[in-house]
Each structure stands twice: as structure tokens, then as C-alpha cells.
Amino acid sequence: MEKRITTPLTEETLRSLKAGENLVIDGVIYTGRDAAHKRLVETMDKGEPLPVDFTGQIIYYVGPCPAKPGHPIGSAGPTTSGRMDSYTPAMLNVGLKGMIGKGNRSAQVVEAIKEYGAVYLLAIGGAGALLAKCVKKAEVVAYEELGPEAIFRLEVENFPVVVGVDTEGNDIYVEGRKAYAR
Amino acid sequence: MVREIHVDRVKDVVRELSIKANYFLPQDVLKALNKAIETEESPVGKEVLGLIVQNAAIAAEDEMPICQDTGAAVIFLEVGQDIHFVGGSLVEAINQGVSEGYQDGYLRKSMTDDPFLRKNTGNNTPAIIHTDIVEGDQVYLVLAPKGGGSENMSAARGLTPADGMEGVKKFVVETVDRAGSNPCPPIVVGVGVGSTIEKAVLLSKKALIRPVGHPHPREHIAELEQSTLEAINNLGIGPQGLGGRTTALAVHIEPHSSHIASLIAAVNIQCHAARHAEATL
């Protein structure tokens, strides 16, 4: 039986997640990628309120395709997380507890994940059609003018992820490679 | 004899190829992915490859993009020298075709007007157009949507003639190693080798259009492709970087004549959604 998690993430749930573990997410997650992160951090720097309360929430690094009529969203797979690294400590500082993306995080981000007791989750890059099927509802909640880079509130069901970095700072990318390198 | 082609025909073809390339993964890529499922040793890697194939089937069935990054619209155009385009600007027609295809196909618009100001142009233009003038009276057009994640991991380097094939191999493997999980492995690796940087880079992208797994006709190049592929797969990065024996599906190397002083190599990394569609007018 696969483990299920939902937002807002509690400390107990977060601590139970281990790098390499398969999970499914049900409930609300928010999207955000390069341009939205830039704006969010600029807003924090000015001391102004954020458009979304990220306490205990998960952000999904994705810029979806437009929805066809009758569908909530178009293809929606993860983008490369490393580009958000410079913004991540600030996001964790305002209460963000989970991130979904693909690819390695910097040593500083892994350290920050440990410090704030958060997790980094991996979705399959390039599986945008498959992942879109797990999205039941999508609405723009901030920065609509950014188009695909706007912040969407997504309601997801059975959204599959693998724990990439857990609250202890264990990193699946480091462990996974060792076994198959020759 | 000069043959006239109305630019509206080019526009319509570009519109159609934009959608087709993004919905349907080419058969050669699917075949390579299915073969990798059989040979992959990592259970997680096998599972990931299975989901990638399943994703391509969903995209084809539901007529939706394989990946949300529907790319920059890279277009290779071979224009016969006996062609005369009529009815307006060829470049404008191509961009209009991209704009209509990305709009009508519900594809993501990913292009910004300026690398620093970064305002989205809203229609995925401009297309990135590479034109060759060739003999004859036909137009051959390949549209290859190129995602940002894998493109960002690409690189070029000036080597010396003494570095030779081993030097090129080492540079390619280093580039793939550094890219790690970022470019959505399993990848296809395009390599251009020559003596001016722009030629090497352009050939590295053109190498990605070659059907996956077709070796270069020159024997020493085909051998270099094979040994570089083995070295890459020994890195252990695996599908999605989660560990495994399938980091790359293929290495395609395109060599070019070189200046006596130079050996320049370029590596263009392509994610597993190795999309392209073609047409002849």
C-alpha cells in the first residue's frame, strides 16, 4: 500500500518521510517556477504580504500547458528545481514545507531543507500528460500576467512522487547513482 | 526552372508540425525506450522507463503534449536553390505557423522577448530557424521543439588536435556527468566536432535529428559513438537520475572538416522526449 500524504503537512508526517520512498499526494498544492519565485522573494524583501499563505504547503515547480476545453489543465510535469535554489531558503523561512520538481538541489538547499524540517519530492520529468491526469482542478491565484508561470492552486488526487531529500538531508540522487556506476 | 511556393503553404505546414511533434513521440525513440526497459538493471529505473512510455501513449491517445515544456520551435529548413517563395515574407510565415500551432494545439508559450527583461511573447515566437540552401526545387522542413531543461545542460569546448577522439569522449562524458539528473535522462547526446564554434554547435543540434540508434556511416565515428555511450551509461545516473544503467539512449556524433590548429566539440543534450516532425514541400 502506497503512503498517502495531504497538505498542510504536519511535522509528524514530514519526519516519517524517507528518501527513496514512493508517495502519492491528495489535496491542494501550489505551482510556482522561476518568475513567480522572483516576485515572491522581491515581495518578502519589501516587507509586503505574500499572495498565498505557504505555511505547511507544497509548491510544485511547473509551468503547465493551457487546458483543452473540458480539461482542468494541460500537460503538467516538473521543471528543473536547481533554478529555484537561490530562492528556496527564503521560501522555507515563510513556512513552505514541501517542493516538487526534478533534478539535484544545491548543498545549501539540502542544508536548508534539514534546518527547516522540510522535504524535496520528485515527479517524473517529461511525464506531463500522465501527471496532468492527477490534477482535478486548477485556478490561478496570483500573478496571472505571467501566463504559464503564474501561481496556480491545484487540487490533485493520487499524484505520484518519490522522496528526493528528506528532513534528515538524505539525498536519493547521491545514493541511487552509487549502485549502478562502474 | 524556378518553382514557386506560396509562403502560406509553409505557414500551414509549420502549424501542423508544431502540434504533431509535441503530441506524438517518434517511433525510433519509442523503440529505444522499450529496448531500455528490457536491459535496465535498476527496478526503479525500469519502472520510470515504463511510465515514460505510458506517458507517450497517453499523449498520443488524448492528443496532448508529451511534456509541458513544448519547447523553443527549432526549425531546420533545406531550401532547393530553384525555389522562389511568393506571397510575403518566409520568416513571417514560419512565425505565423508557430503562433497558430502553439495556440490551436494548446501548447505552452515559452519564449521571452529579451534574455534579461523576460517578457513572454505570448505565441512562442520567434522560431529558431536554420536554413541550408541545397540543389533542387524542394523544401525539406524539420521542426524540433527543444525544452529548456536539457538545453541548459549543453556545452562547447575548444580542444587541441592532440586531444583527438579520447579528448572529445572525455569532454562529452564530463558534460553528461555534470548534467546529472537535470536534463530528464535517459537522454540523447548530440555532438558536433569541427573547428569553428558555431559549426560545431549547429552540428550538435542537427545530430539530434538523426533517428535514435542509427550509427554514423564512418566506422571510426560509429565506434566513438558506441564507446562514448558505454562510458556515459557507466556513470550510473540512470532514468531520471535515480540510479541505473540507462543514462543515454544514444550518442550521435557529427564530424566536420577542421582547421589544422583546431578541434572544437559541442554537446547538445536532448531529454527523452526527443521530439521532431518533418515534411517535404
Q: Which residues 93-132 in chain A show a CB within 8 A of chain B? A: 102-104, 122, 124-130, 132
Euclidean distance between CA atoms B26 and B96, whole angstroms: 25
pLDDT at res. A175: 82
Q: Which residues 3-42 in chain A show a CB within 8 A of chain B? A: 35
Helix H, strand E, coil C: the string for B97-138 is HHHHHHHHCCCCCCCECCCCCCCECCCCCCCEEEEEEECCCC
To the query of whether residue A37 is one of the catalytic residues in this protein, the response is: yes
pLDDT at res. A2: 76
Q: Per-residue pLDDT for A141 more than 70? A: yes
Residue B248 C-alpha cell reads as: 543515454
CB contact under 8 A, B68 and A128: yes
Euclidean distance between CA atoms B173 and B196, whole angstroms: 21
CB contact under 8 A, B120 and A80: no
For the residues A97-123, what does the mean pLDDT come to?
97
pLDDT, mean over chain A: 95
Question: Using 50, 70 and 90 to split pLDDT, how confident is the model at A174?
Answer: confident
Report helix, strand or coil for A144. helix
A182 close to B (CB below 8 A):
yes
pLDDT 10s digits, A21-76:
999 999 999 999 999 999 999 999 999 999 999 999 999 999 999 999 999 999 99
Measure CB to CB from residue B149 to each of A67, A79, A146 and give the nearest one: A79
Measure CB to CB from residue A181 to each of B41, B110, B236 and give the nearest one: B236
Residues from chain B contacting residue A125 (CB–CB below 8 Å): 67, 149, 184, 240, 271
Question: Using 50, 70 and 90 to split pLDDT, how confident is the model at A1?
Answer: low
Q: Which domains does chain A have, with CATH numbers?
A: 25-166 (3.20.130.10)
| Closest CA relative to residue B35, chosen from B52, B15, B11, B55 | B52
Residue A161 C-alpha cell reads as: 512522487
What percent of chain A clears pLDDT 70, i.e. is strictly above it?
99
Question: What is chain A's length?
Answer: 182
pLDDT at res. B1: 84
Residues from chain A contacting residue B238 (CB–CB below 8 Å): 176-177, 180
Residue A12 C-alpha cell reads as: 509528524
Euclidean distance between CA atoms B19 and A177, whole angstroms: 36
Residues from chain A contacting residue B64 (CB–CB below 8 Å): 65, 68, 74-75, 129, 132
For the residues B3-7, what does the mean pLDDT come to?
97
Among chain A residues, CA nearest to B71:
A65
CB contact under 8 A, A77 and B236: no
Question: Phi-psi category of A156—alpha, beta or left, where left has phi over 0 and alpha has psi -120 to 50?
Answer: beta
The sheet with strand B72-80 has its strands ordered as B128-134, B72-80, B139-146, B277-280
| Positive or negative: CA dihedral B169, B170, B175, B180 | positive
Question: Phi-psi category of B194—alpha, beta or left, where left has phi over 0 and alpha has psi -120 to 50?
Answer: beta
| Closest CA relative to residue B110, chosen from A15, A34, A165 | A34
Maximum separation of any 2 CA atoms in chain B, in Å: 60
CB contact under 8 A, A180 and B243: yes
Residue B261 C-alpha cell reads as: 590548429
Query: Which parts of B135-186 are beta strand (E)?
Result: 139-146, 155-159
- Kindly report the nearest CA distance between residue B26 and chain A, in angstroms: 15
Measure CB to CB from residue A129 to each of B62, B110, B149 and give the nearest one: B62
| Closest CA relative to residue A100, chosen from A85, A83, A79, A131 | A79
- Kindly report the nearest CA distance between residue A125 and chain B, in angstroms: 6
Among chain B residues, CA nearest to A176:
B243
Residue A11 C-alpha cell reads as: 511535522
Which element (helix H / strand E) includes A156? strand A151-165
Euclidean distance between CA atoms B273 and B187, whole angstroms: 8
Q: Is B239 exposed, middle or buried (0-12, 13-18, 19+ CB in 10 A)?
A: buried
CA B172-B177-B180 angle, to 5 degrees, is: 130
Among chain B residues, CA nearest to A63:
B68
- Kindly report the nearest CA distance between residue A117 and chain B, in angstroms: 23
Q: Per-residue pLDDT for B272 more than 80? A: yes
CB contact under 8 A, B242 and A173: yes
Based on DSSP, count helices (H) and strands (E) in chain A, helices before strands: 6, 7
Helix B90-104 × helix B7-23 angle, to 10°: 40
pLDDT 10s digits, B72-113:
999 999 999 999 999 999 999 999 999 999 999 999 999 999
Residues from chain A contacting residue B234 (CB–CB below 8 Å): 181-182
Q: Assess contact for A63 and A149: CB atoms under 8 A.
A: yes
Give me the catalytic one of A33, A37, A39, A105: A37
Report helix, strand or coil for B204. helix
pLDDT 10s digits, B44-68:
999 999 999 999 999 999 999 999 9
Among chain B residues, CA nearest to A81:
B182
pLDDT 10s digits, B118-170:
999 999 999 999 999 999 999 999 999 999 999 999 999 999 999 999 999 99
Measure CB to CB from residue A66 to each of B106, B236, B245 and give the nearest one: B106
Q: Per-residue pLDDT for A178 more than 90? A: no
CB contact under 8 A, A129 and B59: yes
Distance from first CA to last CA of chain B, Å, rounded? 16
Residues from chain A contacting residue B50 (CB–CB below 8 Å): none
- Kindly report the nearest CA distance between residue B254 and chain A, in angstroms: 26
A172 close to B (CB below 8 A):
yes
A65 close to B (CB below 8 A):
yes
| Closest CA relative to residue B124, chosen from A127, A22, A148 | A148
pLDDT, mean over chain B: 97
Measure CB to CB from residue A125 to each of B118, B240, B244 and give the nearest one: B240
Residues 6+ apart with CB under 8 A from B180: A103, A104, A173, B237, B241
| DSSP string covering A65-130 | PPPPTT-S-S--PPPBGGGGGGGHHHHHHTT--EEEEBS---HHHHHHHHHHT-EEEE--TT-HHH
Q: Assess contact for B200 and B265: CB atoms under 8 A.
A: yes
pLDDT at res. B3: 96
